[in-house]
Chains A and B, each alone.
Chain A
């Protein structure tokens, strides 16, 4: 009989580390939410005032602000356009890599990591310098953010689509569809897309998180998006600004969870190997 070596149970130090980490990560969120929704100065906060004067007034004031709505709409329009551009460019790329040129996958994947190598600030400086002489009208338009954001989202979007496509038997599906006489666009829309809906929604969600969180490029190109509005309104209505930050965080967290959920369903063995871009 083989001896079974019993796994030791979780040691104390591990719980200590995890507890400290939990405090470090949860406390700032609680502090922000308290500041946003409670009208009690920190100095007066105590056992007696803990439940006093919780209010949504700051946030309501912000929604009434005439500058808020245009910023929200701009961010939403840019989200939609960025999603469209991303799908238009990345879906064919991912398909091409999966069907025609699997050997080029690692090359394409490395190329999509460009935003990790070129910081957003350098990206906007370079592109700004180039376009200022070539096509000055481009930078004047609010929609010039769309290609930048599509590039920033590339590491997430390509991986998500690629994982989705790898998890299905793409070649067989396409060959079957073609041999039944379907032209390529029909194959794409009626065979491939319905098979990777979870990867597609994941891609869309991740793109929206990028658009709703991006500040650097919008601020350098002076485009009044939602994050920019949030930063500027901190002076006028700090409670509203922090309330908006809480809302945006909650929304992006939800989108992110939904995206990873969907991706996990699409491909079991997927792990995120490369991380973030604050």
Chain B
């Protein structure tokens, strides 16, 4: 049990907090952008195939990850990246502004690549469950669009938005390959740390720490996913 305690003290606690902060931020941004994208796609009625195309691509992008994603962003926002260079022509210095693809902000941006489409896939059924008649009824009763969203739309969407946030959090929390490839194993993320302990078996007595960290990870994941399933059950009651 002492390993369990040691895994959440000192620098290891810092790693946990770092990972949780990163997951929470990428989940929050992913949830907001994903919900916005869903709302935008829902407003597109023509061409009719547009929604289908976005859904299909979201399915692909949400499952994207690992090494190819890291490569793509290194080529885009790395020190020799296309966008980094393009911005420097306009006099904007990304690296000077404290942005590197392997630091906190960088990993967050990269994670958004799979977080936003995942949010889209999770919330699309809820958005589709918003009946047009409710909007029309609200409009007939004199409610402005803002009022409609505040009193009808958002309360109905709330469980699925919160559930989506939790799913995104869990998703970022367990991601490993992308972060590993972005920062060559030097990141402070918990999954990368676990690898260090598992392979550094020469430090005697420390490999228990790897197990303890993995156990803590599972505990956090069970809590988050349990809450997610509760929200999901609640959000499904409005869906056709």
Contact = CB atoms under 8 A, between A and B. Distances in A.
Interface stretch (B6-14, B34-42, B90-98, B147-155): B34-42
A227 B170 CA distance: 23
Interface string A106-139: 0000100100111111100110110000000000
B171 A32 contact: no
A19 to B, nearest CB: 10
A17 B40 contact: yes
B124 to A, nearest CB: 7
A163 interface: no
Interface stretch (A55-63, A86-94, A252-260): A252-260
B210 A275 contact: no
- Interface residue tally on B, bucketed by range: 35 or more
Interface in B167-187: 167, 170-171, 173-178, 180-181
Interface residues of A, number: 69
Nearest to B208: A129
Contact of A28 (B37, B73, B199): B73
B75 interface: yes
B72 A45 contact: no
19 contacts: A7-B45, A10-B43, A25-B61, A28-B76, A32-B75, A32-B76, A34-B82, A119-B176, A125-B214, A215-B176, A216-B66, A219-B180, A220-B195, A231-B181, A271-B125, A276-B114, A277-B63, A278-B175, A278-B178
Interface of B: 33, 36-37, 39-41, 43-46, 54, 56-57, 59-69, 71-73, 75-76, 80-85, 112-114, 116-118, 121-122, 124-125, 132, 136, 139, 167, 170-171, 173-178, 180-181, 191, 194-195, 198-199, 210-211, 214-215, 217-218, 221-222, 225, 229, 232
